[in-house]
Amino acid sequence: MKVHVKDGEIKSYGVICKVSFRVDNEKELKKEKKKKKDKDR
């Protein structure tokens, strides 16, 4: 968190947040679905 104080009063504040995520390859997803489907049989 970050805050700016001037003359004893909060002038501005905010949050610095890092977000990460994974993007799957479409071909890999299809392979995984096929493996799962075959396994369930």
- Which of helix, strand or coil describes residue 40? helix
**Phi, psi (rounded to 5 degrees) for 15:** -125, 135
Q: What is the mean pLDDT of residues 2-8?
A: 95
pLDDT for 6 beyond 80: yes
**What's the pLDDT at 41?**
73
**For 8-38, how does the pLDDT look when each residue is reduced to its tens digit (9 = 90+)?**
999 999 999 999 988 877 877 778 888 888 8
4, 27, 26, 2: which is closest to 14 by C-alpha?
2
- Residue 2 and residue 19: Cα distance in Å, rounded? 17
CA distance 27 to 37: 15
Mean pLDDT score of the chain: 87
pTM as predicted: 0.38
pLDDT at 3 over 80: yes
What are the backbone dihedrals phi and psi of residue 8, each rounded to the nearest 5 degrees, phi first? Answer: 75, 10
